[in-house]
Structure 1
Amino acid sequence: MNGKVTTTRTKLERGRSALGPALELVHTGRAPTRAVLTSELGVTRATAGAVAAELEALGLIRVDSRPGSAAGSQGRPSHRLAIRESGPVAIAAQVHADGFRAALVGLGGRLVATAPGCVTVTADPAQVIGEVVDDCARLLRDSGLRCVGAGLAVPSAVAEPEGTALNPLHIAWPAGAPVREIFAACVREAGIPGPAFTGNDVNLAALAEHRHGAGRGAQHLLCVATGHRGVGGALVLDGRLHTGSSGLALEVGHLTVNPEGRPCHCGGRGCLDVETDPLAFLIAARREPGPEESLLKQAGDLLRTEYEDAAVRGAAEELIDRLGLGLAGLVNILNPDRIILGGLHRALLEADPERLRAVVADRSLWGRSGSVPILPCTLDHNSLVGAAELAWQPVLDDPLAALA
């Protein structure tokens, strides 16, 4: 009798330990059926079925036990697994140079609801973060959905373990602003349940793209992106963000690509940050930036609608060459197996992909073979989705404990 009880308990514990890995497989789209889940987890069909049933009972996924058979297929089709659309959500907030945005994000990186927020960011981080959290709370109340936690993306390196915004160069916040502490306090005051997390916007964009977008399947993923101002970078290694010893890794915006170029906010000259961002493009294209729209939107619209104009094309080629020089240096150092580009860099890639790839191939040791794919980011609001990933991580680690 004791042996049987022990065996039953062991099976139960093994199934519970598989809940997190199973949920992550469904969350990232890698296990659309129970058969795939069984194979990926390396468990028996019965265990996979019990795990799927437990996740369904927790309100996280749906199990379709009677899926239709594909034409010409033989045998009984495997149960389909999908994210439960009425399941819990994570709060996601983003602050950038041109305003902020609030969102609710479900499993699978699905945007459930968004609120555009304001178009100006004051010098008081507590005021700005308080306002975006208020928007998040309104979205949550209107949805009636359960909340697992909250994540905030900011346009600054976030020092660990303090959670301070070390260099918010393009917003007027003081260096070292305690953004994580402020965000957590605002979340509590708004009555939003669950833990609160904060991270750099490009780091979070890379995490979202790796799980749900253009970076899926990459082992060593390099992401370089323009924000509304400036340039950021991130590296995902074996599914985990590489943030360095104190959260400050991959400040690629401060690579020098034009020694005689513009002064940079960091004190250097000719950095990617000021040579390949939206303002640099507008200046190179001889366009006066307007106050009515974000610089990122103005630059993107100009590139899409007036690319045949000589000044616009010349500006694009100038930025592509400088971006390619920076990417080549990063390829030499990091040896990624995929590069993804966001913001204006994505638009530059789409405007002239061969030019950018040629510059990287010509300037990098490992780029000559053309073996490093350079792709555009594919997710809308990927920094918001990435902020939500921070809040979802405790659930992915241990669904039972997180949702108890």
Structure 2
Amino acid sequence: MTPTRTTRLERGRSALGPALELVHTGRAPTRAVLTAELGVTRATAGAVAAELETLGLITVDSRPAAASGSQGRPSHRLSVDPEGPVVLAAQVHADGFRAALVGLGGRIVATAPGAVTVEADPAQVLTEVVAAGARLLRGTGRRCLGAGLAVPSAVAEPEGTALNPLHLAWPPGAPVREIFARCLADAGVPGPSGKVPATGHTANDINLVALGEHRHGAGRGARDLLCVATGHRGVGGALVLDGRLHTGSAGLALEVGHLTVDPDGRACHCGGRGCLDVETDPLAFLEAAGREPGPETGLLSRAMELLRTEYATDPAVRDAAGLLIDRLGLGLAGLVNILNPDRIILGGLHRALLEADAERLHAVIAERSLWGRSGSVPVLACELEHSSLVGAAELAWQPVLDDPAAALSG
């Protein structure tokens, strides 16, 4: 083999991962764009695309057509293989869990919710969510390449322990990654080879909202992305810097729920008072609107439904929304002053508050932010229906994006 041929093959192999990520995130819809993004020759880009197609990860149309009004040679269109492998994504929240199979491109292939009482033993709900995911795999017959789990707690690295699941009964420091891996093995969820259990990855749910939205939703194209969202209880935050999730030295960064927005406000689980976590979550909204919160289960859905159906007709609901918007804007202004993001995305109840009165929220941020009057930060609603699940899937897809050939051979 000539040195030139050897060099071309080596270059193609090293480009497999970057090429797959470009198709995965929608940034290379054609082979021409792939060639330009990779900075390789057309022949090398063609060889890379063909190899990814052989691996069953993408499809390359065999008869390219030029776009209407375009000039020059038409380029082959690239897309993720709709029948390709999937990963198992799981989310645990205060009301139970949700399992899903997620393909490349952030496509949810199948999903199954489960409403259960989340007991003090994490193994109880993790066993159920993994079992639900295993049933989805058996029902679809899809090849599984890994598994990711989103939990409502900071997850310490490298141990994979849930340090402070404040809205669950789990003990601090629960070894969720280890338990998740054991559940995957017990349920017979296969890895890429079909023989060994799938590798399990675990992270904080709001971190995974940010990751999923950055790659496939409202955060696409942002360099410094701030995400703030309500879960079923509490408030979380995450930051993507230069395209990578910022988790700090031990996975514990951006606990924005514990910023104080009302020093005389409610007592918080963290020991402080008036934190975003207890002043802008679904429970706070229901109480401010004069509604009986009822049982823990379904707080988020009840708050969202109240805002959707009665905001226009009930002054108490509008006043409650305005109060939470003011508190949220105060917290976001402080984060803008510290982090200087180029985009903010809001999820959960915060997304609904933004949609109810975006002008008021922007005004509070501008009033309280050092840069608000001279450098407005776009504030957008999260776009994905199940952002945490898509983000959890991204954890499992990452080894494949890093080295597709090695991941699929193992």
Q: Which residue matches 2:70?
A: 73
What is the CA deviation profile of residues 341-379 of structure 1, one whole-angstrom value per residue up to 9, with x for unaligned ones? 000000000000010001001101112225210000000
Q: Deviations over 1:102-141 (max 9, x none)?
A: 0000000000000012332111101110111111111111
Once the 2 structures are TM-superposed, how far is the Cα of residue 188 of structure 1 from its aligned partner?
A: 1.5
Is 1:29 aligned with 2:34?
no
Distance 1:198 1:96 in 2: 14
**Alignment partner, residue 350 of structure 2:** 345
Cα distance in 2 between the residues matched to 1:335 and 1:367: 10
Distance 2:13 2:99 in 1: 34
Match of 2:401 among 388, 396, 400: 396
The percent identity for this pair of structures is: 81
SS at match of 1:268: coil
1:293 offset after TM fit, Å?
5.6
1:193-208 pair list within 5 angstroms = 193=191, 194-208=198-212
Residue type at the aligned position of 1:243: T
Segments of 4+ in structure 1 off by > 4 A?
none
* Equivalent residue number for residue 322 of structure 2: 317
In structure 2, the residue matched to 1:380 is 385
- Cα deviations across residues 298-351 of structure 1 (Å, max 9, x unaligned)? 101111110021100000000000000000000000000000000000000000
Aligned match of 1:9 in 6, 11, 28?
6
CA RMSD of aligned residues (A): 1.1
Equivalent runs, 1:108-257 vs 2, <5 Å: 108-192=105-189, 193=191, 194-257=198-261
Match of 2:307 in 1: 303
Q: Could you tell me which residue of structure 2 aligns to residue 364 of structure 1? A: 369
Structure 2 residue identity aligned to 1:296: L
Maintained 8 Å contact 1:202/1:225:
yes
**In 2, distance between residues paired with 1:190 and 1:310?**
51
Structure 1: distance between partners of 2:186 and 2:39: 44
> Structure 1-normalised TM-score?
0.98
Q: Say which SS state the counterpart of residue 100 (structure 1) adopts.
A: strand
Match of 2:194 in 1: none
Partner of 2:331: 326
Query: What is the aligned partner in structure 2 of residue 105 from structure 1?
Result: 102
Q: Distance in 2 between matches of 1:208 and 1:378?
A: 10
Determine if contact 1:64/1:80 at 8 Å carries over to the other structure.
yes
Q: Which amino acid aligns with 2:183?
A: C
Shift of 1:207: 0.2
Out of 288-297 and 242-251, give the one that drifted further.
288-297
Is the Cα–Cα contact under 8 Å of residues 324 and 359 in structure 1 kept in the other structure? yes
Letter paired with 1:259:
P
For the residues of structure 2 that align with 1:119 and 1:276, how far apart are their CA atoms?
A: 25
1:281 to 262, 279, 285: 285
Number of aligned residues: 401
Q: Which amino acid aligns with 1:78?
A: S
| Paired AA for residue 358 in structure 2 | P
Which residue of 2 is the match for residue 61 of structure 1?
A: 58
Quick check: 1:65–1:78 contact (8 Å CA) kept in 2?
no
Gaps of 5+ in 2: 192-197
Equivalent pair of 1:163/1:178 in contact (CA under 8 Å): yes
Q: How many angstroms apart in 2 are the aligned matches of 1:232 and 1:276?
A: 11
Q: Distance in 1 between matches of 2:402 and 2:17?
A: 5
Report the secondary structure of 1:116's partner residue.
Answer: strand
What residue identity is the alignment partner of 1:339?
I
Q: Could you tell me how far apart the structure 1 residues matched to 2:331 and 2:245 are?
A: 21
Tell me, which stretches of 5 or more residues in structure 1 are unaligned?
none
Change (3 A) 1:17 1:301: same
CA distance in 2, matches of 1:165, 1:103: 22
TM-score, normalization: structure 2?
Answer: 0.96
Determine the C-alpha separation between the residues in 1 that align with 2:320 and 2:152.
25
Match of 1:336 in 2: 341
Q: Which amino acid aligns with 1:336?
A: P
Q: Distance in 2 between matches of 1:207 and 1:6?
A: 40
Cα contact 2:120–2:168 (8 A) shared by 1: yes
Would the aligned equivalents of 1:158 and 1:247 in 2 still touch at CA under 8 Å?
Answer: yes
- Cα 1:377–1:116 shift into 2, 3 Å: same
SS in 2 for 1:283: helix
- Post-superposition Cα deviations, 1:261-303, rounded to whole Å, max 9, x if no partner, equal 0000111000000000000000000001234961111101111
Quote the Cα distance in structure 1 between the aligned partners of 2:253 and 2:317. Answer: 33
SS in 2 for 1:117: strand
**Closer, same or farther: CA 198–292 of 1 in aligned 2, 3 Å:** closer
2:339 counterpart letter in structure 1: L
Quote the Cα distance in structure 2 between the aligned partners of 1:325 and 1:304: 24
Quote the Cα distance in structure 1 between the aligned partners of 2:29 and 2:330: 40
Partner SS, residue 90 of structure 1: strand
Opposite residue 387 of structure 1, the aligned amino acid is: A
